[in-house]
Each structure stands twice: as C-alpha cells, then as structure tokens.
Amino acid sequence: MTLRITVIGTGYLGATHAACMAELGFEVLGLDIDPEKIATLAAGKIPMYEPGLAELLVKHVPGHPGSSGRLRFTTSYEEVADFGDVHFLCTNTPQKKGEFAADMSYVDAALDSLAPHLKRPTLVVGKSTVPVGSANRLAVRLAELAPVGAAAELAWNPEFLREGFAVGDTLHPDRLVVGVRSERAEALLREVYATPVAEGVPFVVTDFATAELVKAAANSFLATKISFINAMAEVCESAGADVVQLSKALSFDERIGGKFLNAGVGFGGGCLPKDIRAFMARAGELGADQALTFLREVDSINMRRRSRMVELAREQCGGGFLGRRVAVLGAAFKPNSDDIRDSPALNVAAQIQLQGAQVSVYDPKAMDNARKMFPGLTYADSPLEAAEGAHVVLHLTEWQEFRDLDPAVLGTVVAERRILDGRNILDDAKWRAAGWSYRAMGRPT
C-alpha cells in the first residue's frame, strides 16, 4: 500500500513539500493552525508568490477538473495522526526577538500537538532548520507524549530549497540528507524519496546531529561566499578595481565556482541572515563559539553593504537627501519571490526615506507585502512611475523586468539620469549609451 504522508505547517516549505509529495504519487494531508491559509490552499491558491506551486496544487487538490485529488488540507491534529504513516514537521524557526537564537516554539508546539494522537507505529520527520541537538530533544519528547511510545520514531531531513525555485528544488534536489536512528526509519524515507533517488539524487544517511548541522553549514557557507565577494568589492572600490571582472576570473577555478559570487547590496531573506546568527548562538551554548566567530564578520560585511548603498545614493544626490527624490527598483529580498523578510532593498529604501528623501518603490510582485511592512514609503505601479522626477534610481532586486528596461525611455521621466546598480547585473554600456551616469558597487566609476 502506498504511504500516506502528512505535512505539518503549510508555509513556504510545507506547502511546497505537500504539493510535491502529491506529485510523487502519495496521498497527502497538509495541516496548518491558520484556517484561512488552509482554505486558500484547499482552493488551489497560494498565499505567496512562488512560480509553479499554484499549478501543482490545482493538479492535486480535489475539486479541479482532472485533479488527482491526492492532496487535502485540515486544521485537525487528530485527523492528521489517524491518516499518516509519515509526518513531516515543516513549521518555521524565526530569529528570537532581541537575540541571535532560533525560536523553537512553533516546532515544539507542532510536536506537542501531534504526539498525543499517535496511536500506531509512525515516523515523524523534522524538516525545519533547527539548532543542533533539537532532534535528540524532540525524539525523547515524542516517545514520552505518544500513546504508542517509542514506536513513534523521529528522523531529521533538512530542506535545502530556494525560494523562487521551490518546486524544482524539492522534486529534483541536489541531495537528500536523512538523520535516522533505525533501519526502519531509513527504509521509510527511502520509500518516500524513491523517485528522486532512482533519478540519481544522492541519499546521505547520517545521525541526527550531523543532519541538523549539514543545513546550518550549507547556509553558512553560502552566506560566507556572498560576504567574501562583497569584502572583495570593498577592496576593489578602494583600489579602483572591478569586482565583476574579479568574480568572473575566480569562477573559472572549479574549486571556487561562480555561483553565489555576485557582489552587491548583500543577502537577505528569511533564511541566511537568521540561520548564521542562530548557528553562532548554538555554537556558543555548546562551547564552540570560537569556531564560528568568522560568521560575525560575514554578518557585518553583509550589513555594511546596505549602509554603503545609502552612502552612494547620498553622494549621487549631491551630498544630502533633503528635497531629493529617489526611485527604488525592487522590494523583494531576491527576484522571483514576493518575500520581503530582511530585504536589503526595503532596508535601504527606509534608511534613505528616514534621512529626508522622498522614496518611491516599485517591485513586480512584493508590493502588497512591502506596503504592509513599510507603510511610510511611497509605492508606484511601474518602474516609470517610480522614476518620475527622481534624482537617482537605485536597482536593488534583480528582476528580469529591470534588466529589460529601456534606459532611453526611463531617461525621459527622471530629473537626473543617474543609476546605482546594487546587484551589478545591468548592462552598463546600454545605460551609459542612453546618457546615464552608471555606478555600481565595487566597480570603477
């Protein structure tokens, strides 16, 4: 009989995981404590922007023409416990307010709500990003709370999906990592992931702590790579060198590689910034803080990029922001997403606004979220409207729409043809040819 899978927490990770499990052929029940979210998902809609995800939902939730009907949603833990053979925990672990540490309350609450209903042997699989040692703690709690006792087993299976590519990354991951304590748990997870494994995806079996650490290490490495190239951008600016050429030349060395080596306004989002902080906090608790002090520097270099962008914008505005208009292209923390959590673009926009400029923001998908979080900024319906009367245009999220802009057309509405490319990705020759002063981070003027 095919396994029945449940997914607890239907945010970014959970909604994607649930839809992809249905796509792999399993019967799936997704749970969230937010009834509104459940109603939205059950209707085949998603409360965020993620390419391909809504299509996958419609393909599997009942009630749509031709749907498999394999994907349903509920708010009942009892129903989930009755239904599932394998339960995936996908709740979020945000940064605690005023601290570096991760807030485990959502993961803990999910386990505490599920466990008392588990009356038959089952596997609970954690996917959330957690401090190392959490799986061990949760396994003890699970066995204590579940009526079936130790036959309710835990496994840890971290998630590596990127926003904007969530569906593809889940169906065709680079690797699968599973932290297990029994052959039974490994066998169940091999069954869940039989399709990607048959396609050649590496399946790495580890203990709990190693599985948890792979996730923290991966995000730390990615953040370090970005901050490394941004540190080089700082040196390039001082030395009159070009970080884009430098990065390209480095990328030909296969040991270094070219990915995550784009200098600019730095990393943001709901993962990299909080994950490196939580990792430092956990290492401190374990007495291994010295091993991760470099992550403090990674964080500082990253935050300095935002201040540097504000400084460059001030220079372009003639030394002060008062009475100046600034157009900001981009609000999401990266393209193909409407996520504005810790977005460098909005952070820069808000700082500039605070310093007296009138800031007009445009983003293809993140406007609603941005309006809610930063109501003090002005929002435009198009790049042209944002640029109206601007003394400088800031390119802060590299949407394709911005790369396709015609600088000659934009030039007709601005007060001054000045562009600051915070992502080092626009075609500078095209902008210069249209009479713009083009300035980027880490490149000669």
Pick out the residues of the known binding site for NAD(+).
32, 37, 93, 129, 163, 274, 341
Task: Count the residues in the chain.
Answer: 445
Query: Angle formed by the axes of helices 344-354 and 293-316, to 10°?
Result: 50
Asked whether the beta carbons of 340 and 333 are under 8 A apart, the reply is yes
- The distance of closest approach from Cβ of residue 265 to ligand UGA in the complex, given in angstroms and rounded to an integer, is 7
- The distance of closest approach from Cβ of residue 268 to ligand UGA in the complex, given in angstroms and rounded to an integer, is 4
Q: How many CA atoms within 13 Å lie on the side-chain side of 245?
A: 7
What distance in Å separates the CA atoms of residue 442 and residue 231, rounded to the nearest whole number?
9
Nearer to ligand UGA, 34 or 221 (CB): 221
Contacting residues for 51 by C-beta, under 8 A, at least 6 apart:
164, 165, 167, 336
- The distance of closest approach from Cβ of residue 44 to ligand UGA in the complex, given in angstroms and rounded to an integer, is 23
Q: Which chain residues interact with ligand UGA by CB under 6 A? A: 129, 159-163, 219, 222, 226, 260-262, 264, 266-269, 271-272, 275, 333-334
Other beta carbons within 10 Å of 308: 20
Torsion of CA 221, 223, 226, 229, to 10 degrees: -60
What distance in Å separates the CA atoms of residue 437 and residue 375, rounded to the nearest whole number?
31
Other beta carbons within 10 Å of 207: 14
Contacting residues for 316 by C-beta, under 8 A, at least 6 apart:
391, 392, 418, 420, 437, 439
Nearer to ligand UGA, 118 or 310 (CB): 310
Nearer to ligand UGA, 178 or 271 (CB): 271
Name the catalytic one among 20, 90, 236, 271. 271
- Give the single-character DSSP code of 34: -
What is the distance between the terminal CA atoms of the chain, rounded to a whole angstrom? Answer: 65
What distance in Å separates the CA atoms of residue 371 and residue 349, rounded to the nearest whole number?
12
Binding residues for substrate: 160-163, 215, 260-264, 268, 334
Whether 90 is a known active-site residue: answer no
- The distance of closest approach from Cβ of residue 219 to ligand UGA in the complex, given in angstroms and rounded to an integer, is 5
Parallel, antiparallel, or unpaired: how do β-strands 176-179 and 203-206 relate?
parallel
Binding residues: 32, 37, 93, 129, 160-163, 215, 260-264, 268, 274, 334, 341
Secondary structure (DSSP) of 92-139 = --PBPTTSSSB--HHHHHHHHHHGGG--S-EEEEE-S---TTHHHHHH
Query: Angle formed by the axes of helices 134-145 and 208-239, to 10°?
Result: 150
Nearer to ligand UGA, 161 or 317 (CB): 161
Catalytic residues: 271
